[in-house]
Amino acid sequence: MLRDAWIIAIETLSWMELRRLNERSALMRTTKQLSIKDAGAIRLAYGLVVETTRCKNLIDKFINTVTAPKKIGEYTQGIQAFLRLYTYQTRVTKNWGKIHLKEAQSIASLGRSILGWQNLREVEPYLGFLLTSQLAPIMEAVNETERVALETYHPVWFVEYCTKLFGKKDAAAFLKGSLNPPPTYIRINPSTVSEEEILKKLASEGIKFEKAEPLKYTYKILELKTPLNNSPSLKSGLFYVQDKASCFAAQTANPRPGHTVFDVCAAPGAKTTFLAQLMENRGDIVSVDFSAKRMHIWQMETKRMDTKIAKPLIADARVALPLTSEADLIALDPPCTSSGVFAKQPSAKWRLSPKSITNMSEIQLQMINTCAKQIKIGGILIYSTCSVTIEENEGVVEQFLKEHPNFRLTKITPDFGSPGLTNLTECRRLYPHIHQCNGFFIAKLQKI
């Protein structure tokens, strides 16, 4: 199993570099390509890939110091992946302290068997130095901003951005809080079985949980006997694995039974299924998404969650919503830089640049302008992202309000999260280090 896991991990990291794929997409491509179905090997490989990617900047800085003047990017993709995995396993997991020589020798042997001894021969002399070199001199030689970037595993530009936005102290807290994924949350679906019965069933499956106040139907997972994916209750649609921030956004919308709702950027189905649940499966939901592939997942999820009032629509919300009717509620969760979920998707932070923020905000503004045309007088528009940047959030809302004086911000309930920035205090922000969930932004706009 260990050899298969390392084969998968090396190939997955290589695909991520070549095609700029995220962890899951690259892993799926790799397992299909290699025809490896061992669930244990796949889980181990995924863990190695995610954690190695999380601290990629520090690992690369360390490797470049040892292999100087040659940089890691000058080696083949397979060698790059192996060196990163080797450094992660032998040094990062040991907190750069105790040396396990036998483990290092075993990993080197794995590398030879997977990549071939001739391919590994060029870097093999460096493996001993990677195992024994000290990190402290490297950290002492950099300036304060780069040190924070290396310590918190973030790009230097993003550290500078957060420091400017939040101030040095709050930026450091946010960056450190983004090191580890937040707790896992589930949203109970009492459409056919009562909430109390579902909770009893979960307890019988060895799932320990606690209520995520002040949200409805939302629970934090405390302990599991087996992975949630194996839960019979999950398969039968009794709950949805959904972050607390996303649950909050749906509750903020507060749809009523009988409403007409447009769920824009709807795949893979978390919003749609929760909106339908809050509507007691009475009314109409049109779920719009540009990706036919993602809408296939939406179809499976809405079926699993017994969502009866939603219809799919493949369309590009940047251009138009091909709908003649108007909605009581539109929930827009547009593509974003995902800067609030770097802990869960660490590859995202290495693909982005400051230009990415500008590009995304332009797309988001196009989408929210499109949605504004389809709302009834008195209707509600929920705008949310899993990003913390001001351009994608308050910036989009401010520009939207300038262009649409017939919309106003309205108070969000329940009272949860932190106020929006730039005096948009009616908006809500959620932060990993404060609210123990994904970083998130929510604005509630009413057409007047």
Q: Tabulate helix, strand, coil % of the chain (nearest 5).
A: 50, 15, 35
Strands 407-409 and 440-447: what pairing?
antiparallel
CB count, 10 Å around CB of 42? Answer: 21
**386 assigned to active site:** yes
- Taking the C-alpha atoms of residue 112 and residue 344, their distance in angstroms, rounded to an integer, is 31
Full 3-state SS string of 120-139: HCCCHHHHHHHHHCCCHHHH
What is the number of residues in the chain? Answer: 448
Local confidence pLDDT in tens for the 448 residues of the chain: 889 999 999 999 999 999 999 999 999 999 999 999 899 999 999 999 999 999 999 999 999 999 999 999 999 999 999 999 999 999 999 999 999 999 999 999 999 999 998 999 999 999 999 999 999 999 999 999 999 999 999 999 999 999 999 999 999 999 999 998 999 999 999 988 999 999 999 999 999 999 999 999 999 999 999 989 999 999 999 999 999 999 999 999 999 999 999 999 999 999 999 999 999 999 999 999 999 999 999 999 999 999 999 999 999 999 999 999 999 999 999 999 999 999 999 999 999 999 999 999 999 999 999 999 999 999 999 999 999 999 999 999 999 999 999 999 999 999 999 999 999 999 999 999 999 999 999 999 999 9
CATH of the structural domain 246-447, one choice from 3.40.50.150, 3.90.650.10, 3.40.47.10, 3.20.20.70:
3.40.50.150
Distance, first Cα to last Cα, the chain: 61
DSSP 415: -
Burial class (CB in 10 A: 0-12, 13-18, 19+), 400: buried
Contact 253, 330 (CB under 8 A): no
Contact 58, 153 (CB under 8 A): yes
Model pLDDT, residue 1: 84
**Strand locations in 309-399 (E):** 310-314, 327-332, 375-385
Contact 245, 435 (CB under 8 A): yes
- Taking the C-alpha atoms of residue 436 and residue 367, their distance in angstroms, rounded to an integer, is 29
pTM: 0.94
Q: Could you please report the per-residue DSSP string of 207-270? A: -EEEE-TTSSSEEEEEE-SS-GGG-HHHHTTSEEE--HHHHHHHHHH---TT-EEEEES-TTSH
Burial class (CB in 10 A: 0-12, 13-18, 19+), 191: middle
- Taking the C-alpha atoms of residue 329 and residue 136, their distance in angstroms, rounded to an integer, is 55
Contact 432, 177 (CB under 8 A): yes
- Taking the C-alpha atoms of residue 232 and residue 11, their distance in angstroms, rounded to an integer, is 33
Q: Could you please report the per-residue DSSP string of 127-175? A: HHHHHH--SHHHHHTS-HHHHHHHHHT--HHHHHHHHHHH-HHHHHHHH
Model pLDDT, residue 192: 85
Q: How distant is the alpha carbon of residue 334 from its chain centre?
A: 14
- Taking the C-alpha atoms of residue 448 and residue 433, their distance in angstroms, rounded to an integer, is 36
CB count, 10 Å around CB of 34? Answer: 13
- Each residue of 180-196: pLDDT tens digit? 899 999 999 998 899 99
Report residue 421 as tokens. Answer: 């920035």
Alpha carbon distances (Å) from 247 to 4, 107, 229, 438: 37, 42, 19, 11
Look at the domain 2-140 and name its fold.
N-utilizing Substance Protein B Homolog; Chain A (1.10.940)
Cα angle at 419 between 416 and 423, to 5 degrees? 155
- Taking the C-alpha atoms of residue 295 and residue 25, their distance in angstroms, rounded to an integer, is 16
- Each residue of 52-70: pLDDT tens digit? 999 999 999 999 999 999 9
Domain ranges of the chain: 2-140, 144-177, 246-447
DSSP 413: S
- Taking the C-alpha atoms of residue 142 and residue 144, their distance in angstroms, rounded to an integer, is 7
Of the candidates 336, 386, 427, 437, the residue annotated as catalytic is 386
Number of helices (H) and strands (E) in the chain: give both, helices first.
21, 13
- Each residue of 197-214: pLDDT tens digit? 999 999 999 999 999 999
